[in-house]
Structure 1
């Protein structure tokens, strides 16, 4: 397999109208989860992607598994339990602002996944393992899973990709910082945003963020700069990669995961550092064009057309 990732995916209820949720009566149902977002985006880009978790033996759990599997992602190592429920979340919208997000995930099925339940031989098949900082925030059990996967990856020379993805609704920065920096030290590729660099490293300068992660032992860093693009760097130096202007973004949630998928797609295609950044910027930008976390991720031909590298025939 090309990329393996793991973590909690939730059922997402997206309101059909703006305003406080107490006045909203209709929702669209979808899925949301940083790791499954990356897996789905990579699958659409033409790569062999896999995702695993633990879900409730309930209708929501079956929906989550089926939705991810229908995108061509291997979900064969996902487990189910009767003892806990699958997680859900609601978005709340006010005009053109980014939505508020309300999680209902405490003590969910995913939080009970243990390191003893891992299929070690399956994990060893991955070329890249993608980890986010959300997973270790959810439970002590999942934290142990993360570090066991890191151990397996190091022992088998598997490339580790890490998106810090700090969620302060899940834990405070004092608890998160040492754990996320430990993961970064074991990672080959790190994909932070400016705010995450500031929280973890004490600087909001993208060049300093990249250099500090490289000093920790990372081989490659891509600092996300929102609509401005990204700054990518390795031991040979760094460069800015221009982003794509989206005048009226619909929903920015999922853009960072899209960037990660596009960037990893470039790595898998053995592209230059700058070209990897261009793919990441393109997928991230396209993610903002529609409501939902993963609905806007393109297939590779669509991405090339969006980037102006291939003509699009509309009719």
Structure 2
């Protein structure tokens, strides 16, 4: 297994017309979740990915399990929970560049995850463990499950990758800050957005904030800067990598997950840090071109074509 990840995936309802949902009577139905988005992105790029979670033993849960399995992701560690429901969320387009997301996930099946759900040998089989800050926000059991997965990864020398993926509505700010900093301190690679870094450490330049993450324990930090690209740093190299321009941002949700998938695929392909970040920027940009969280995730041939067709500039230290 190349990458194992764990977290909640939900059914996504998107109105077929723009504007407030109160005026909509037709919706498209998709599958979306930060961690499974990453797993699907890696699978499309030719890698083996596994996803650990709980789903409701209902039609939505079965739809999600079938969809993710169909994308080539291993779902053997996913449990269908008879006593829990599958989470739902709605995404409405209010204006060309304005989106609003509403979640219905309280007491969902995924929030019932517990440490016993994590098979130590399954984690040990991976090269990377990918976790986000969403899962520990769902419940105390989910928080302990993430810690258990990280403990197993550390024990078996599996590289831990952490994306803070801050969701302010899920928990109090002080608790969020403490837990995210704790998880960042346990990770080998941290993939924060610039706003998440400022939430955790206060104001500062990407260079300054990256240094704070490294002081906190991370070996590698890659900071997402939106359309501007990303800033990265480890002991050997660092600098800015420019983003890829796109003609129109159709749907920005899921771009960060695409970034993570692209970055990990680069490392798995043996690319250096700079080139892995460049690939991450490209996948993130491609995701924004298509409605839905996973629909824009590319296969490798299309990714290479996209990258070759666009010029970039960057600055290294």
TM-score, with structure 1 as normaliser = 0.96
3-state DSSP of counterpart to 1:53: strand
The residue that corresponds to 1:284 in the other structure is 284
Q: Which moved more, 1:27-36 or 1:238-247?
A: 238-247
The residue that corresponds to 1:221 in the other structure is 221
3-state DSSP of counterpart to 2:94: coil
Contact 1:195/1:204 (<8 A) preserved: no
TM-score, with structure 2 as normaliser = 0.96
Counterparts of 2:266 and 2:209, CA distance in 1: 22
- Cα displacement (A) at 1:155: 1.0
- Cα displacement (A) at 1:309: 6.8
Counterparts of 2:6 and 2:232, CA distance in 1: 25
Q: Residue 23 in 1 paired to residue 8 in 2?
A: no
The residue that corresponds to 2:141 in the other structure is 141
Runs of 4+ in 1 over 4 A off after TM superposition: none
Counterparts of 2:309 and 2:301, CA distance in 1: 9
Counterparts of 2:300 and 2:160, CA distance in 1: 23
1:151-300 correspondence to structure 2 within 5 Å: 151-300=151-300
The residue that corresponds to 1:36 in the other structure is 36
1:49-88 correspondence to structure 2 within 5 Å: 49-88=49-88
- Cα displacement (A) at 1:256: 0.4
Contact 1:194/1:204 (<8 A) preserved: no
> Could you list the runs of 5+ residues in structure 2 that have no partner in the other structure?
311-317
The residue that corresponds to 1:4 in the other structure is 4
Counterparts of 1:289 and 1:151, CA distance in 2: 37
Contact 1:214/1:235 (<8 A) preserved: no
Counterparts of 2:98 and 2:42, CA distance in 1: 25
Counterparts of 2:282 and 2:189, CA distance in 1: 19
- Cα displacement (A) at 1:32: 1.2
- Cα displacement (A) at 1:203: 2.5
Contact 2:93/2:100 (<8 A) preserved: yes
- Cα displacement (A) at 1:257: 0.5
Q: Deviations over 1:167-226 (max 9, x none)?
A: 011112211111111111110110001100001111341111111111122111110011
- Cα displacement (A) at 1:275: 0.2
Q: Deviations over 1:19-54 (max 9, x none)?
A: 111110011100111000000000001110110100
Q: Deviations over 1:59-94 (max 9, x none)?
A: 000001111111100001100111110000011111
Contact 1:98/1:252 (<8 A) preserved: no
Contact 2:193/2:224 (<8 A) preserved: yes
> Could you list the runs of 5+ residues in structure 1 that have no partner in the other structure?
311-315
